[in-house]
Structure 1
Amino acid sequence: MMDSQIRGTEGEEFVNQLAFSTFFKYWCYPSPKLENGNKKEICDLLIIFKDIAIIFSVKNYEFKGNHNRYFNNTISKATKQINGAYKALFSRDEVRIKHPDKQFEEIFPKDSIKKTFRIIVNLGENVKFYPFSSITNNGDFITLFDRDSFETIIKELDTVPDFIDYIEKREKLFKDKFTIILPAEEDDFSVETQKEFFSITENSFDNNTKTVLLSGTEKDLLAHFFENKREFPDILNDETVNGFYLVIDNKWNEFISRKRFENKKEADKISYFVDGFVENELLINITPYREELAKHLLSFDRLTRRSIGESYFDFHKKNAHNTGLYFGRRLVDFGEIGILFTSYTEEMTNEMFNILNNLAVESFNVYTKYKYPTIILISTNKDHFLKFGLIENIKPYPKEYEELVKNDIKTLGWFTDLTEGKFTNQEFPE
């Protein structure tokens, strides 16, 4: 029993550390308990980010050669645990949970959650085959990862939007299919293993359920996903076919050996400017204001963060040697959000700097005709000492105020024609 508890704790810690690095610990609730009830553990890990909730069940039982018994001890139990966790979170009028690093209990925001994802991470190794997913009694889809696939996927898709994009598309494609993944080599299938395999799959064949057999690992499937512009094999959408056998063995190893993969890793380095900014500037002495800004920045995927990093360092390079009262500014288009970079010098007082920043925001609002409902302000000096701001719910100014803004920027000799920056990138540079 003690060995089982130790393995369970080690398994949860393994998943927690990977989740903390991707989703940031601030939004991760390891082993949350029903604080206003029986104090019972709700699930192994709960992630709440904006309108998304992810419920994790982690199983770390040792595989001893019997697939049927192993799946009953892992997948079946984890499915029941996730079903119970969902009921506990969404059926009660109020659920109070506690984050280990936060002072006060919080109310689980069930009314603002628009998407809920359920994930089982099954850490037992040397399994020859396993179901690709599970279904709760209510028909809710559960994504199932083994150790290797979870670790790879969460490291390669290491932002909330990238990870959610993958599991959401995965769920949509495989929800109506009975799917078995076969990570083992062909000569690894003993006669006994083959019998177990057919005993698990025979009902799906008899009932004409759409069946998918994936020869390979989920990492191999991830390689296909990347190579096909983040889409799964299109053939699996063929409604006229009831059975699919997809051979993807060794696709991941081939994929990561290519120069394009290496180029992506190199190109992505600059994107971690955003992650570092959130971790070192915003999640320190956290306030609701800082939290909101952090959520805006973490809502960008890795490729967009790369563009933000490139834009920042290009802007800094062009303005680092300015002196006197020179005030640099650049607005970059990121969809619904504009990011305004400004630079300041040692000669500027705080009052002057604040006045110029406010005018920069207002002038860009006027000359873009209020294109961006939200503007993120990031100000820097030659030493990369950062200051920041968040302006939300931007609405047109009264005409009289617009004229005052135009007069001020004319006095300062600022632009009259707007030039916006827009950075574009290939995910896998040639």
Structure 2
Amino acid sequence: MTQEKSKGDIGEDFVNDLAFTSYLKYWCYPNPMDENGDKKEICDLLIIFKNYAIIISVKNYDNKGNYDRYKKRVIEKSTKQLYGAERKLFNSKSEVYIKHPNRPKEIFDPSKFDKVYRITVNVGEQFEYYDLGDKKENKGFINILNKNTFQTITQELDTISDLVEYLDEREKLLTQSAELKINCSEIDLLAVFLKNRRKFPDEYHSDKFQEKSFDLKGAWENYDKSKSVALKREEDKASYFIDHLVKTDVLKLPQGEVLAKELMTLGRTERRMMSKSLFSLIGKYENTKIELARRYSVYNGIGFLLIYYSKEIDEKVVDWTIQQAMPIYCYKRDLQEKEIIVLAATDNLKQWKFGMFKQTGNKMTQQEIEFYDGLIEKFGWFKDMKMLVYEEKEYPDEK
């Protein structure tokens, strides 16, 4: 028993260490327990982010060449545990409280989540080929990943939106009616997904055949070594500025986690675009006589207002301007975006200010309209607007 527990701890430590050194760390709950209830462990790792809940079961099992035993010891046992964890979280008669390592205990609210992902990770010795999923009728799909796959996925798909996009497409592929035989490792499948505009080719989903077989062996190696991927990774370096900003500045703000979640909803390419636009804005106006400059863009239905302000402006004026600018943009955009986020910086990005505005109703009052029209006239905004067309390819063209 002691040896088995030690192996289990090693497996859980691997997954937790990987999750806590990646973008997932702020939303990870390792070995969550029912804090106000039976104090029993719910699962090995729970990740909750906005409307997504990811339940993870970790196994550390060496197959020793016996695949049937592996299925019984790993897949069947883990599947049962994952369904049990989901039942505990979403169907308990009493409220369930959980605790993040860096925060007080909190209530788990099942109504907040639109999608649940269930993942089994086996960090022990691997079969070259193994079942990629499991499912019991009417209970939901289980993703089965090995150590190398989980590690590669969380490194390559290193935002929540990129990760769940892959899990959604993966589930569609593996739950189709036709039997699918794939001669490859999971990371080869990941490579096909990434290079095919983040979806699997149409022929993979075709219902013309009861059985389909694809030989994709080596796809990941070709992807990983390609020039276009090297260029992508180089361009993505700019995007990590958003991650850094969240860690060093945003999360430290009162209610900073709310703003952090909105920023971390952006995919990697979207963060790259925003970072480059921000760098361009500051670079254009810093050390000039311009005191205030703005750029506005929309990602995932949220308006992002980037502001440069001169270090010569009184901070109270800047704060007031930011507070007024958010509802003004909401108004001028005819409430197309009811949520506006501001990232404002001064010369050399040395000082930051943030803001977030949410419009609650479907229209503004006449009094608000008159007030904002007066401010627009006073500021002279929206009289000389210029549309910037900016294209950013996830995989830059090779030069």
* Structure 1 and Structure 2 fold alike (TM over 0.5): yes
Residues 391 and 422 (structure 1 numbering): CA distance in 2 closer, same or farther, change over 3 Å?
farther
Q: CA shift at 1:159, angstroms?
A: 0.8
Aligned to 2:323: 358
Tell whether 2:229 aligns with 1:264: no
Say which of 268, 277, 281 aligns to 1:302.
Answer: 268
Residues 401 and 84 (structure 1 numbering): CA distance in 2 closer, same or farther, change over 3 Å?
closer
The answer as to whether partners of 2:345 and 2:352 remain within 8 angstroms in 1 is: yes
* Dislocated runs of 4+, deviation >6 Å: none
Q: Distance in 1 between matches of 2:327 and 2:42?
A: 47
Instruction: Report matched runs for 1:174-189 at 5 Å.
Output: 174-176=174-176
Task: Work out which of the two has the higher radius of gyration on C-alpha atoms and give 1 or 2.
Answer: 1
Residues 147 and 359 (structure 1 numbering): CA distance in 2 closer, same or farther, change over 3 Å?
same
SS of residue matched to 1:354: helix
Aligned to 1:278: 246
Say which of 371, 379, 386 aligns to 1:419.
Answer: 386
Aligned to 1:234: 202
Q: Distance in 2 between matches of 1:86 and 1:398?
A: 44
Residues 305 and 347 (structure 1 numbering): CA distance in 2 closer, same or farther, change over 3 Å?
same
The answer as to whether partners of 1:329 and 1:360 remain within 8 angstroms in 2 is: no
Aligned to 1:65: 65
Instruction: Report matched runs for 1:399-414 at 5 Å.
Output: 399-414=366-381
Residues 333 and 238 (structure 1 numbering): CA distance in 2 closer, same or farther, change over 3 Å?
closer
Q: Distance in 1 between matches of 2:136 and 2:23?
A: 25
Q: Distance in 1 between matches of 2:183 and 2:164?
A: 24
Say which of 336, 342, 347 aligns to 2:301.
Answer: 336
Q: CA shift at 1:117, angstroms?
A: 0.8
Moved more, 267-276 or 411-420: 411-420
Aligned to 2:96: 95
Instruction: Report matched runs for 1:74-113 at 5 Å.
Output: 74-93=74-93, 94-103=95-104, 105-113=105-113
Q: CA shift at 1:77, angstroms?
A: 1.1
Q: Distance in 2 between matches of 1:50 and 1:381?
A: 31
The answer as to whether partners of 1:44 and 1:58 remain within 8 angstroms in 2 is: yes
Aligned to 1:252: 220
The answer as to whether partners of 2:128 and 2:185 remain within 8 angstroms in 1 is: no
Identity %: 36
5+ residue gaps, structure 1: 178-209
Q: CA shift at 1:400, angstroms?
A: 5.0
Moved more, 398-407 or 44-53: 398-407
Q: CA shift at 1:23, angstroms?
A: 4.3
SS of residue matched to 1:364: helix
The answer as to whether partners of 1:52 and 1:116 remain within 8 angstroms in 2 is: yes
SS of residue matched to 1:245: strand
The answer as to whether partners of 1:29 and 1:98 remain within 8 angstroms in 2 is: yes
Q: What do residues 327-372 of structure 1 show as CA deviations (whole Å, max 9, x unaligned)?
A: 2222223252111111222322222212322343344344333332
- The code of the aligned residue for 2:341 comes to I
The answer as to whether partners of 2:63 and 2:69 remain within 8 angstroms in 1 is: no
Q: Distance in 1 between matches of 2:335 and 2:176?
A: 44
- The code of the aligned residue for 2:393 comes to Q
Q: Distance in 1 between matches of 2:381 and 2:138?
A: 61
Q: CA shift at 1:7, angstroms?
A: 2.2
Moved more, 366-375 or 66-75: 366-375
Residues 333 and 417 (structure 1 numbering): CA distance in 2 closer, same or farther, change over 3 Å?
farther
- The code of the aligned residue for 2:385 comes to L
Instruction: Report matched runs for 1:365-380 at 5 Å.
Output: 365-380=330-345
Q: CA shift at 1:31, angstroms?
A: 0.5
TM-score, normalised to structure 2, is 0.92
Aligned length: 394
- The code of the aligned residue for 1:321 comes to N
The answer as to whether partners of 1:270 and 1:310 remain within 8 angstroms in 2 is: yes
SS of residue matched to 2:245: helix
Q: CA shift at 1:407, angstroms?
A: 4.0
Q: CA shift at 1:19, angstroms?
A: 2.4
Aligned to 2:211: 243
Q: What do residues 65-102 of structure 1 show as CA deviations (whole Å, max 9, x unaligned)?
A: 22222222111111111111111112213111122211
- The code of the aligned residue for 1:116 comes to V
Aligned to 2:38: 38
Aligned to 2:147: 147
Residues 239 and 405 (structure 1 numbering): CA distance in 2 closer, same or farther, change over 3 Å?
closer
Aligned to 1:223: 191
Residues 308 and 290 (structure 1 numbering): CA distance in 2 closer, same or farther, change over 3 Å?
same
SS of residue matched to 2:348: coil
Q: Distance in 2 between matches of 1:401 and 1:68?
A: 68
Q: Distance in 2 between matches of 1:137 and 1:334?
A: 37
